[in-house]
Amino acid sequence: MVQRVLTNVGTPSSTYTVQVKSPKGVAVKVVPEKLTFLKLNDRKSFRVWFEMRKQEANDGVVDAD
């Protein structure tokens, strides 16, 4: 798990929603999925979890024949 703190240096009353494109074989969870800043210099934190997914035996393997 990774925790980060963001400071709003942009427009007051801003909302940001997470979008994740994880690598194959990795599950990613972000909490909260949305951060709403009410004013300039507001600080909000979020957490990210990474989990390895089980892959098939031949997943990603190319035969040399």
Q: Is 51 inside any structural domain?
A: no
| Structural domain total, the chain | 1
Buried b (16+ CB within 10 A) or exposed e, 20-53: eeeeeeeeeebeeeebebeeeebebebeeeeeee
What local confidence, expressed as pLDDT, does residue 20 receive? 94
Domain that holds residue 10: 2-38
Q: Is 18 inside any structural domain?
A: yes
pLDDT in tens, 15-62: 999 999 999 999 999 999 999 999 999 999 999 999 999 876 656 665
Q: Is 29 inside any structural domain?
A: yes
Q: Is 65 inside any structural domain?
A: no
What local confidence, expressed as pLDDT, does residue 54 receive? 84
Query: Is the predicted pLDDT of residue 3 greater than 70, yes or no?
Result: yes
What local confidence, expressed as pLDDT, does residue 27 receive? 95
What local confidence, expressed as pLDDT, does residue 15 receive? 94
Q: Is 60 inside any structural domain?
A: no
Q: Is 19 inside any structural domain?
A: yes
* Whole-prediction pTM: 0.73
